């Protein structure tokens, strides 16, 4: 069975975490047992995820959203205490990969979404997003594609052209990148979340804005990463889907 540190070293290099200035420590966040027989993956750290991972016999949990963030209180109390306590009591290692997993060219949330949506001529967009082209499509047809890819009913501000060809995409809470999408002349911009000012920005910028769910748009990468690790290390990997409607 693989050693904990072997997996950590591989992932840190494969996901190029040193290339990113992130909002918290990436890679190892909680150290568990040395040898790993089973890995559980999930989008976001939570007591529920960690308890289910422990019941599943996991030695390691890998998430997109970890337990340590620079802007949060690190006092061990409440839910934060229970999350850490669950990991320590079960000797489970926790790894977290945030922006590096959004941007990865093969297993990244945005690269995979672009591929599944059928985008061509894909290029970088903003810090971790992508943009690309497709044959002319209506907003109704694009909504259908988004439902199939993300399994989520999107919120759409349909203020763009009747025929959509140029699309920007950035998973998670990247609604403010709509300004860049407008500047670059895109027809539509897809992200996870939406905030109050966005509707008027879309309307005034003559662009379609699509909020396809923060959780939903960041499920692709962590699932693909787990599959990759299972094949790479010949190890049991299980994705636990704790759906968040946001």
pLDDT tens digit string along 144-176?
999 999 999 999 999 999 999 999 999 999 999
Q: Is residue 243 scored above 90 in pLDDT?
A: yes
Q: Where are the beta strands (DSSP E) in 97-180?
A: 120-125, 129-137, 155-158, 164-169
Mean pLDDT of 226-230: 98
- Assign domain 103-217 to its CATH superfamily: NIF3 (NGG1p interacting factor 3)-like (3.40.1390.30)
Q: What is the pLDDT of residue 37?
A: 97
- The pLDDT-based confidence of 71 (bands split at 50, 70, 90) is confident
Mean pLDDT of 63-78: 94
Q: What is the pTM of this model?
A: 0.96
Q: Answer yes or no: are the C-beta atoms of 152 and 204 closer than 8 Å.
A: no
- The pLDDT-based confidence of 73 (bands split at 50, 70, 90) is confident
What does pLDDT average to over the chain? Answer: 97
Q: What is the pLDDT of residue 116?
A: 98
The CATH topology of domain 4-97 is 3.40.1390
d(CA 166, CA 208): 11
Q: Where are the beta strands (DSSP E) in 53-163?
A: 60-65, 93-96, 120-125, 129-137, 155-158
CA torsion sign, 28 to 29 to 34 to 39?
Answer: negative
Mean pLDDT of 14-37: 96
- Where are the domains positioned within the chain? 4-97, 103-217
Q: Is 103-217 in the same CATH topology as 4-97?
A: yes
């Amino acid at each position: 069975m693989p050693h904990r540190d072997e997996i950590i070293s591989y992932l840190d290099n494969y996901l190029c975490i040193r290339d990113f200035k992130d909002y918290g420590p990436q890679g190892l966040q909680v150290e568990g047992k040395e040898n790993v027989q089973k890995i559980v993956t999930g989008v976001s750290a939570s007591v529920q995820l960690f308890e289910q991972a422990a019941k599943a016999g996991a030695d390691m949990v890998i998430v997109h959203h970890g337990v340590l963030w620079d802007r949060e209180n690190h006092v061990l109390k409440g839910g934060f205490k229970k999350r850490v306590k669950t990991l320590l009591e079960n000797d489970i290692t926790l790894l977290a990969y945030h922006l590096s997993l959004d941007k990865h060219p093969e297993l990244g949330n945005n690269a995979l979404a672009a591929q599944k949506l059928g985008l061509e001529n894909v290029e970088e967009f903003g810090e971790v997003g992508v943009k690309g082209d497709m044959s002319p499509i209506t907003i109704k047809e694009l909504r259908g594609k988004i439902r199939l890819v993300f399994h989520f009913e999107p919120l759409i501000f349909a203020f763009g052209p009747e025929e959509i060809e140029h699309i920007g995409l950035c998973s998670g809470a990247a609604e403010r990148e709509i300004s860049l999408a407008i500047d670059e002349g895109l027809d539509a911009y897809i992200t996870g979340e939406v905030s109050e000012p966005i509707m008027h920005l879309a309307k005034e910028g003559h662009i379609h804005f699509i909020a396809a769910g923060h959780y939903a748009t960041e499920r692709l990468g962590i699932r693909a990463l787990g599959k990759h690790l299972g094949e790479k290390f010949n190890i049991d990997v299980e994705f636990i889907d704790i759906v968040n409607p946001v």
